[in-house]
Amino acid sequence: MTFLHNIGLYIIMLQKMFQKPTKWKVMKELILKDTEDTVINSLGIISFVSFFIGGVITIQLALSTTGSFYPNYLVGYATRETIILEFAPTIISIIMAGKVGSFITSSIGSMRVTEQIDALEVMGINSINYLIFPKVIALLLYPFLISIAMFLGILGGMGACVYGGYSTMSDFIEGIQTDFIPFHMIYAFIKTFVFAFILATVPSFHGYYMKGGALEVGKASTTSFIWTCVTIIIFNFLITQMLLG
Amino acid sequence: MISVKNLKKSFDNNPILKGISCDFEKGKTSLIIGQTGSGKTVFLKCLLGLHKYEEGEIIFDNNNLESMNDLEKMTLKSNIGTVFQGSALFDSMNIEENVMFPLKMFKEMPFDEMQDRVNIVLKRVELLNSNKKMPSEASGGMQKRVAIARAIVNEPKYLFCDEPNSGLDPKTAIVIDNLINEITQEQNITTIINSHDMNSVMEIGEKIVFLKNGNLEWVGSKKDIFKTKNKAVTDFVYSSELYKKVRKMYLKS
């Protein structure tokens, strides 16, 4: 019952997000601030994780595909497919659920606890539009982050492969170019847009409707991370089945 | 003026407000007092539109809250200033931005004009030269002043304060009380303060509304409170030895 109640509440929240919009002059500032908080401030960690995980993926692929049976370009090909199809859009989104998601939940939750949301409501401001809509718009730039993750993941893989002595640069590049299907990029970016919406709204929901004090803000952040991950994984499956299945 | 008629509110079939009726006059500071759990906060939240009530009427200067459309409610809310118990300052904004916030949201005026208005209001609450401080850098008393400045910057018709001096030392508490009272008289606004601080009652209670178990138990002024024979009021107000002595002395004189 609680689960159904929460789904209903989430849908109502989405509906209210588009009602009674905040003045554009104020909204513009909020979008810029949220872009900095959610996208720009995540560049460092995403770049770091992508580069090194790209390297690890490549080393593991190279070690498990040794022998004359496999073509030399296979490592580059498999690295590209793994990073574009799954690592960059999905795994990075799960990392973002931890970083950005818990930030969103705790910041909105703290506002709830300290009556700042009540203060907005009393002034006649649509607090859902004011707090959540700019995050949704800011995360429209999320595909930009994922593009960087894709690029750096492949670059990290190339570095690990070539400098680790698993393959030559030309073989790796040949692998990257082999059987490239442009639709896979479209698929990855469709997923990214859906995940961006989930990343903005699910943690916001948990922060906005939380009850209690400081301890509950921490609990809400944990719950929000779990539900954001679950939602991302379910939608990952559904989108993959619909677009590639 | 705000008129409340037969206001009823319950949570999960548990009645919290059991039909409260009273008027709050313009230019006067009215205090709602009562023990914890008497329904003061729920009553204030009903007036602010944060809680929906089941029965009754709340009338803001001949405009019934229930019959207002969304636009009218928005206009009404832009005429309400609120000081929350914990100040509720936006912690991502500095003091100046906090005070400027209602102007940015509701007024179409150039930035310089807004800044002038903010400085006037900050001067009024004796907080000039603190514009760039963040709320976390301000003391409790300063935060309350900022909250008052933010509440009055839009020149509201109504001012609601939920325990504005809770957590403050007695001296600062009296300063905050007097500040609210002075602003009420200067700007001729309807002010309602939720409090269980007896110093506030004695200092600025032009009209005192005493709630008990969700009922309106007693209404009067700070002078009336010395003479009242209502046991619930005297038990509550004169619970300390000091106030008992003060009352005795007042009645003797």
Q: Which amino acid is at B199?
A: N
Q: What is the pLDDT of residue B137?
A: 93
Q: Write phi, then psi, for B30 (nearest 5 degrees).
A: -105, 135
One domain, residues B58 and B104:
no
Among B212, B204, B250, B203, which residue's Cα sits nearest to residue B228? B250
Same domain, B12 and B75: yes
B190 within domain boundaries: yes
The reply to whether B249 touches chain A by the CB within 8 Å rule is no
Is it the case that residue A232 has pLDDT exceeding 90?
Answer: yes
Question: Could you say which residues of chain B have pLDDT below 50?
Answer: none
Same-domain status, B183 and B64: yes
User: Do B109 and B17 fall within a single domain?
Assistant: no
Domain total of chain B = 2
Of the candidates A160, A185, A176, A165, the one whose C-alpha atom is nearest the C-alpha of residue A244 is A185
- With residues binned 3-state (H G I as helix, E B as strand, rest as coil), the percentages for chain A, rounded to 5, are 85, 0, 15
B249 domain-assigned: no
pLDDT value of position B169: 83
Whether residues B151 and B176 share a domain: the answer is: no
The reply to whether ipTM tops 0.95 is no
**B22, two tokens:** 């009273």
User: How many CA atoms does the CB half-sphere of A81 hold within 13 Å?
Assistant: 12
Check if the beta carbon of residue A39 is closer than 8 Å to that of residue A141: yes
Mark whether B72 and B184 lie in a shared domain. Answer: yes
Cβ distance of B84 and A119 shorter than 8 Å = yes
**Which among A111, A118, A122 is the nearest to B77, CB-wise?**
A122
Domain that residue B65 falls in:
1-79+157-217
In sequence order, what are the beta bridge partners of B194?
B32, B162
Residue A227 to residue B100: CA distance in whole angstroms: 37
Give the minimum alpha-carbon distance from B157 to chain A in angstroms, rounded to a whole number.
13
| B107 Cβ under 8 Å from any chain A Cβ | no
**Average confidence (pLDDT) over A131-151:** 95
Percent of chain A surpassing pLDDT 70: 99
- Interchain pair A23, B70: CB under 8 A: no
Q: B220 to chain A, minimum CA–CA distance in Å?
A: 28
φ, ψ for residue B52 (rounded to 5)? -90, 135
Distance of CA A86 to the CA centre of its chain: 12
Answer yes or no: do B64 and B189 share one domain. yes
Cα–Cα distance between B30 and B190 in angstroms, integer? 8
- Which helix H or strand E contains A194, and what residues bound it? helix A182-208
Q: Is the pLDDT of residue A66 over 80?
A: no
- Residues of chain A whose beta carbon is less than 8 angstroms from a beta carbon of chain B are 20, 22-23, 25-26, 33, 110-111, 114-116, 118-119, 121-125
Residues B144 and B203 in one domain: no
Same-domain status, B43 and B151: no
Task: Assess whether B137 and B29 both reside in one domain.
Answer: no
Residue B232 lies in a domain: no
Q: Which of B70, B80, B105 is the closest to A122 by Cβ?
A: B80
pLDDT in tens, B18-60: 999 999 999 889 999 988 888 888 999 899 888 889 999 999 9
Please state, as a whole number, how many other Cβ atoms lie within 10 Å of the Cβ of residue B186. Answer: 11
For residues B143 and B177, membership in a common domain is answered with: no
pLDDT at A50: 96
Domain boundary among B155, B174, B207: B155
Q: Is the same domain home to B151 and B164?
A: no
For the CA atoms of A96, A102, A108, A111, the dihedral, rounded to the nearest 10 degrees, stands at -140
- Between chain A and chain B, the number of residue pairs with CB atoms below 8 A apart is 53
Give Cα A105 to chain centroid, integer Å: 15
Instruction: Answer yes or no: is B243 within a domain.
Output: no
Confidence bin at A13 (pLDDT 50/70/90): very high
